[in-house]
């Protein structure tokens, strides 16, 4: 799979060039930070990050274990997450001066100016609710200094608060719906909200299969708890369609036979690094959905399975879908 829209050799070369440059620049960047002049390094850092991919963002921050941290982030773009992760995998070992991250890290809940409004992030209060099906925490937030702010300012502040409290990846992985409250609430403090999310995350399994019925009678079975961020390199959507549906399953053993065959396909897809997301059973067919890291391997694996199950007349379709957008049609 080619994450950089170049050849694989070009991708490797881009990463090697970045870290080759960084080997000579790291001390200069640290010196600029400690001299209070990090801005002097911005053009040089930006130019080298752009060589990886122009859609990536970067920042310098205080490290958790080192004095400084270099962050190169996809800023929520799932298509670029593999680029950032591949960059990180090639990073030097952490040392007393530098550590490296592929997403924004938690930070202090300080004060900030946002659209002319002074916001103390520590003043947020939250109501948290656990969505068991999706294994995410829905949050409702209130801030005393934002009661007169515009909806867009309030939402931007909410995301900044959550990113600083939890870190970019934890927000994407564990936070579900975000609602803004107009009236004061005696909800959780930031520390209490963080503790609740960490507790729920520790209990999550990543497996929460749900059965739903569509308005046309089709049955949808999905793992609503599977999270794209946990399968960042799975950006190819594989759909295997079998000509067996609700009408075939009534009063027969077909349902069990199709289920066993589907389990074998799921095992084969997992073996190539893919993940099973769910299936839709209509009157005369079933569409089975997977996400895979490599289109050719997905097609070859599904084709081998299809050749062993010709009576089901299987058909195969593989398309790029970095954002897993097909899940909207599955109700998740």
197 with 216, same domain: the answer is no
244 with 306, same domain: the answer is yes
pLDDT tens digits for 74-128? 998 999 999 999 999 999 999 999 999 999 999 999 999 998 899 999 999 999 9
**pLDDT at res. 68:** 98
198 with 118, same domain: the answer is yes
Q: Last residue of a domain, which of 52, 72, 101?
A: 101
90 with 158, same domain: the answer is no
**pLDDT at res. 9:** 61
**pLDDT at res. 140:** 97
CA distance 248 to 259: 13
195 with 137, same domain: the answer is yes
Bridge partner residues of 237 (DSSP): 291, 319
**C-alpha atoms less than 13 angstroms from C-alpha of 70 in its C-beta half-sphere:** 28
331 and 306 Cβ atoms separated by less than 8 Å: no
242 with 305, same domain: the answer is yes
The verdict on residue 2 lying in a domain is: no
Strands 125-131 and 136-142: antiparallel
81 with 120, same domain: the answer is no
CATH number assigned to the domain comprising residue 140 = 3.30.300
118 with 170, same domain: the answer is yes
**pLDDT at res. 3:** 41
**pLDDT at res. 87:** 97
247 with 324, same domain: the answer is yes
The verdict on residue 1 lying in a domain is: no
CA distance 303 to 326: 21
Using 50, 70 and 90 to split pLDDT, how confident is the model at 8?
low
Q: Last residue of a domain, which of 69, 101, 133?
A: 101
Residue 64: is its pLDDT beyond 80?
yes
How many degrees, rounded to 5, is the angle at CA 159 between CA 158 and CA 164? 100
CA distance 209 to 267: 17
pLDDT tens digits for 176-220? 999 999 988 789 999 999 999 999 999 999 999 999 999 999 999
Q: Of the candidates 193, 112, 125, which has an alpha carbon nearest to the alpha carbon of residue 156? A: 112
250 with 292, same domain: the answer is yes
Question: Where do the DSSP E strands lie in 251-301?
Answer: 275-281, 286-292
245 and 286 Cβ atoms separated by less than 8 Å: yes
The verdict on residue 106 lying in a domain is: no
Structural domains in the chain (count) = 3
The verdict on residue 145 lying in a domain is: yes
pLDDT tens digits for 275-325? 999 999 999 999 999 999 999 999 999 999 999 999 999 999 999 999 999
CA distance 312 to 302: 13
12 with 121, same domain: the answer is no
CATH number assigned to the domain comprising residue 279 = 3.30.70.600
* Mean pLDDT value of segment 5-27: 84
**C-alpha atoms less than 13 angstroms from C-alpha of 277 in its C-beta half-sphere:** 28
Q: Last residue of a domain, which of 49, 68, 101?
A: 101
Q: Which domain holds residue 134?
A: 111-203
116 with 92, same domain: the answer is no
The verdict on residue 14 lying in a domain is: yes
The verdict on residue 88 lying in a domain is: yes
* Mean pLDDT value of segment 234-249: 96
Sequence-distant (6+) residues with CB within 8 A of 32 are 38, 40, 41
């Amino acid at each position: 799979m080619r994450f950089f829209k170049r050849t694989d050799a070009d991708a490797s070369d881009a990463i090697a060039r970045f870290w080759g440059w960084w080997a000579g620049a790291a001390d200069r960047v640290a010196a600029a930070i400690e001299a209070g002049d990090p801005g002097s390094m911005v053009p040089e850092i930006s130019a080298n990050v752009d060589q990886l991919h122009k859609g990536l963002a970067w920042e310098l921050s205080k490290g958790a274990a080192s004095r400084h941290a270099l962050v190169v982030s996809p800023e929520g773009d799932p298509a670029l997450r593999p680029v950032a992760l591949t960059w990180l995998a090639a990073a030097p070992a952490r040392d007393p001066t530098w550590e490296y991250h592929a997403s924004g890290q938690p930070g202090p809940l300080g004060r900030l100016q946002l659209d002319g409004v002074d916001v103390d992030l520590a003043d947020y209060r939250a109501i948290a609710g656990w969505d068991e099906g999706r294994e995410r925490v829905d949050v409702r937030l209130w801030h005393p200094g934002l009661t007169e702010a515009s909806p867009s300012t309030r939402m931007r502040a909410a995301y900044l608060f959550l990113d600083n409290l939890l870190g970019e990846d934890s927000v994407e992985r564990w936070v579900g719906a975000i609602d803004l409250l107009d009236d004061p609430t005696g909800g959780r403090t930031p520390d209490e909200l963080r503790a609740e999310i960490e507790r729920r995350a520790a209990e999550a399994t990543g497996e929460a299969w749900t059965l739903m019925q569509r308005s046309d009678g089709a049955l949808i079975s999905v793992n609503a708890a599977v999270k794209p961020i946990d399968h960042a390199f799975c950006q190819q959507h594989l759909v295997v369609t079998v000509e067996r549906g609700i009408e075939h399953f009534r009063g027969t053993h077909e349902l069990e036979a199709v289920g066993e065959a589907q389990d074998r396909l799921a095992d084969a897809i997992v073996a190539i690094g893919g993940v099973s997301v769910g299936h839709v059973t209509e009157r005369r067919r079933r569409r089975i959905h997977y996400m895979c890291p490599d289109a050719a391997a997905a097609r070859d694996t599904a084709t081998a399975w299809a050749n062993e199950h010709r009576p089901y007349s299987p058909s195969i379709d593989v398309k790029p879908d970095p954002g897993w957008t097909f899940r909207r049609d599955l109700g998740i």
